[in-house]
Amino acid sequence: MANCIQCGRKLPPLTFGRKICQWCVQHERAQRGEEVEQRVMPAPWVRRESSISLTKLLFGANVAVFIAMVFASDASMEFTGQVMLHFGANFGPLTLSGDWWRLVTYMFLHGGIFHIAMNMWCLWNIGTLCESLYGRFTYAAIYLITGIAGGLASVGWNPGVLSVGASGALFGLTGALIASFYLGSFSLSGIPIKSVLSSLLFFAGFSLFLGKIVPGIDNACHIGGLISGLILGALIARLAPDHDNSPSRIAVLAVVALAVTGSAFAVRQWRGTPYRMAREFESMSQGNPDRAIAKLEAIARQQPNSVDIHFALGRTYFGLGQYPQAETEFKRVVLLQPQNTDARVALGMTYLNETHLDDANNTFSQAVAQNATDADAHYGLGLTHAAQENPQAAIEEYKKAIQLDPKITGAEYELGRSYAKLKNYDDAIAAYLKEKEHTGDDPDLEAALADAYTAKGMTKEAQQSRSQAEELQRKK
């Protein structure tokens, strides 16, 4: 693309043989005394008079939040993750599971005094430049849109990293200015424009390099803000250069805002499912199972072939005792992923609770065939044999499960019950005591011990276990 030989502006494409831009042509006509109407874009280095600029308001908001965080941290100027999360830091597990407002609030938070000092210095300089070029409305829109884009890039690339700071929006302003200086038409020659452009390019490049070598700097946020700013600046310079809030400029801002919103849904689908499921499990644990199920079902409708979602929904139904629904979900998982041993074990446990013993036996046997070292599969097969009144076969499976995982919960207790069925009370008592070592006091375990002691004629021990069982039951 050629440049004007007089002012250095970029000439429009397909201007073959043309050496002078339209602005210079009109400027020459005006100097000759001809009456012409020449559009002049405000020079970004000339501030317009205003009572309180938006840059000052943003500066004040950041400082006010910082002071509030200092008070919340007992006068400390370096903040913990807990404090930053409380004030609205951007954090994937929370943002992607519903706290979308964090994509805005994180822009006004900073991790310490040095962090806010650097960002406010950049805001004062870059913000003032950007506000004088675009005006308040466009400036505010660029700041907000690119800041959100930076936050999305952060949780998309580093969902487990806590992110705070205005730098995503600052990189967005930088990108917008770079694109506007490169593509826009200004009422000054190319020399000062090139000087400012060089400074902005150096700032962006050096900052990204610093983020690469210094730990703790969220370069994903910087890149997200910069790219979205470049796009916005280019579209404004080419399609909506007029300073007034014209329909064309509002349309450009709306289109980019919609694109960022679409990106949010994409990141949510890509990264958000595990966090959303975890949040629904938390909701269920807090006594709101209906809401948790409704949310998980909605996710399952959106992603019908997701193994993780159907497995989570099956576990939720199982925990609520809704075994037919759990069976449906676990079957879906096995159909989608036949080699998923965990799903087969869960399905087998569901069959056991439904007293579909033959189905349980077949399912656990398939799980053992898939993975002979799966302790839960052997334990489930042992439970099935015990339910089918085959204690000896159950004992063999329990032993295999304990050998594979000595700390598996409940296996020693069930082993003791099967020994008691065979009237092998010494082994039953030994198994019960080992379970007690692993899991601690339990009323059912103490009652089983009491029965075994009674069968052995150990009256004193039986009475102690019986009293302990009654005490534990009262405390429940």
Can you give the three-state secondary structure of the chain, one letter per residue? Answer: CCECCCCCCECCCCCCCCCCCHHHHHHHHHHCCCCCCCCCCCCCCCCCCCCCCHHHHHHHHHHHHHHHHHHHCCCCCECCHHHHHHHCCECHHHHCCCCCCHHHHHHHCCCEHHHHHHHHHHHHHHHHHHHHHHCHHHHHHHHHHHHHHHHHHHHHHCCCCCECCCHHHHHHHHHHHHHHHHHCCCCCCHHHHHHHHHHHHHHHHHHHHHHHHCCCCCHHHHHHHHHHHHHHHHHHHHHCCCCCCCHHHHHHHHHHHHHHHHHHHHHHHHHCHHHHHHHHHHHHHCCCHHHHHHHHHHHHHHCCCCHHHHHHHHHHHHHCCCHHHHHHHHHHHHHHCCCCHHHHHHHHHHHHHCCCHHHHHHHHHHHHHHCCCCHHHHHHHHHHHHHCCCHHHHHHHHHHHHHHCCCCCCHHHHHHHHHHHCCCHHHHHHHHHHHHHHHCCCHHHHHHHHHHHHHHCCHHHHHHHHHHHHHHHHHC
Same domain as 27, residue 59: no
Same domain as 220, residue 88: yes
Alpha-carbon span 196 to 238, nearest angstrom: 20
**Do residues 196 and 182 make contact, with C-beta atoms less than 8 angstroms apart?**
no
Tally of domains in the chain: 3
C-alpha torsion 127→131→132→138, nearest 10: 150
Same domain as 208, residue 324: no
Q: Which residues, 6+ apart, have CB-to-CB distance to 254 below 8 Å?
A: none
**Do residues 110 and 87 make contact, with C-beta atoms less than 8 angstroms apart?**
no
10 falls within a domain: yes
Alpha-carbon span 369 to 380, nearest angstrom: 13
Q: Which of 431, 449, 469 is the last residue of a domain?
A: 431
Summarised one tens digit per residue, pLDDT across range 97-150 is: 788 999 999 999 999 999 999 999 989 988 888 888 888 899 999 999 999 999
CATH number where 226 lies: 1.20.1540.10
Same domain as 375, residue 328: yes
Q: Which of 207, 240, 271 is the last residue of a domain?
A: 271
Same domain as 68, residue 3: no
What's the Cα-to-Cα distance from 287 to each of 281, 293, 298, 309, 475, rounded to whole Å?
10, 12, 19, 21, 21
227 falls within a domain: yes
Same domain as 232, residue 378: no
Q: Which residues, 6+ apart, have CB-to-CB distance to 307 below 8 Å?
A: 333, 336, 337, 340, 343
What's the Cα-to-Cα distance from 439 to each of 212, 358, 394, 408, 447, rounded to whole Å?
48, 30, 21, 10, 15
Alpha-carbon span 280 to 286, nearest angstrom: 10
129 falls within a domain: yes
Residue 388 confidence (pLDDT): 95
> Phi, psi (5° rounding) for residue 75?
75, 5
- For the packed helices 411-421 and 443-456, what is the interaxial angle rounded to 10 degrees? 30
Q: What is the pTM of this model?
A: 0.58
Same domain as 31, residue 125: no
Q: Which of 232, 251, 271 is the last residue of a domain?
A: 271
Same domain as 213, residue 125: yes
68 falls within a domain: yes
Alpha-carbon span 65 to 73, nearest angstrom: 12
> Phi, psi (5° rounding) for residue 244?
-65, 155
467 falls within a domain: no
462 falls within a domain: no
Task: Identify the segments of the chain with pLDDT beneath 70.
Answer: 1-19, 22-23, 26-51, 185-197, 243-245, 273-274, 276-288, 476
Q: Which residues, 6+ apart, have CB-to-CB distance to 72 below 8 Å?
A: 83, 86, 87
Same domain as 426, residue 326: yes
CATH number where 347 lies: 1.25.40.10
Same domain as 424, residue 353: yes
444 falls within a domain: no
Same domain as 381, residue 263: no
Alpha-carbon span 181 to 307, nearest angstrom: 49
Same domain as 219, residue 149: yes
Residue 301 confidence (pLDDT): 82
Please give the residue range of the domain that contains residue 13: 1-38
Summarised one tens digit per residue, pLDDT across range 264-304 is: 988 887 777 667 666 666 665 556 677 777 777 877 787 78
351 falls within a domain: yes
